[in-house]
Structure 1
Amino acid sequence: MAFTLPDLPFDTQVLAPHMSAETLDYHHGKHHRAYVTKVNELLGDTDLEGASLVEVIRAAHERHDKKLFNNSAQIWNHSFFWQCLAPAGSTRPSGKLRDMIAADFGGEQALLDKLAAESVNHFASGWGWLVLNNGKLEVTSLHDADTPVAHGMTPLLTVDVWEHAYYIDYRNERPRYVKSVLEHIISWDFVAENLDGQGTSRADQNARISADNLT
């Protein structure tokens, strides 16, 4: 039994020019796939075989198993990230989400500026996050493969700031990449959906499918 590489929730062409099909082919098809393959190798006949992805992440964190944690967390982080994206102009903050953004940040642009600054200024690899904390929206970032799953955070939105997320399209220009993603291809419908506190489950999976499906 094995974890699988989830399909992208969109065609690889539809995020261009903000994120190219070539980037998605490498980022999803190679980097994300490599994490899936590695976790399946690491689990083997361990007591975690058959556990859900979230269960594996939390167990690896508790056991200080860095290799298993990093790879399993990256499966979840990427699976969540893809769902945060949508074709340019397809969704905008509305309803409860729009009201919360206005209350907690003063408006959409102020939120985007804060999340962009957090993501751009995050040293080295990691992830910028919008999370829900005690009913309020908060911006933060986590290093390397670290994930809200391990810390009891309620995830709403993430931006991948590992270099492989943007080097093909933007070379070393992280600020331009972050601005382009945040201002053009965020799925605000997905962000709003996560206000129900179930965002963690939306990137979870159970190891119930044959490893043959990984090929």
Structure 2
Amino acid sequence: MVFLAALCRPGAAQNPAPLKRPPDTMEERLRACVSCHGEHGKGTNNVYFPRLAGKPAGYLYHQLTAFRDGRRKYAPMNFLLAYLPDEYLKKMAQYYADAQVPYDNPASPVLSEEVRQRGKSIVMQGDPGRKIPACVACHGPNLSGREPGIPGLIGLRFDYISAQLGAWRYGTRTALEPDCMQLIAARLTEAEVAAVAGWLSSMPVPADTRPLKASSERLPLACGSQQH
């Protein structure tokens, strides 16, 4: 009754308490990203949504523009980014690049040790006879990525890795020309894609997870992501 009486007082409905505005920070602005990519981009249990934290800003910016411009196809991301300008996407990319949050423990192996060792061989040594470079040649000896545009492969799940390699193999995912990942993935068999994904998803997290700094070191293939 006291509550009802208070509501009936003159002016009670016309003068509600002012709403408290949230802080105007990138963390608050990117709150919509948390449900899929986790706090500060650390990742979630959903195997198809990758960790963003700590990846090179150039790589993240390229992916944001690719989703915005329709070069990567995923309706929720295409919709969310459709009208965002380049400068704002750069701020988003830098926010996640600067986020330093711990990695989860690697996933339990989903493939046999024999298959994963075949994947490790490709990751660490490649297959020169088929012009398949080692993953470490571009993504770094710790597979933590390379500035400005090569992502780390640490902490990704089997399904995500295999899906992305498959998308490159079949041309449904593309990158800036020359699209080195499309060329490499096209030379892998489906069994090799699974083996690589199996090893990467279960590998130990290295002590140093920072991406390599940009350098004049020549990569095995010309790669558009490293030229912008």
- What TM-score, normalized to structure 1? 0.27
Which has the higher Rg, Structure 1 or Structure 2? Answer: 2
Greater relative contact order (Cα < 8 A, sep 6+):
1
- What TM-score, normalized to structure 2? 0.26
Q: Which structure shows the higher strand fraction?
A: 1
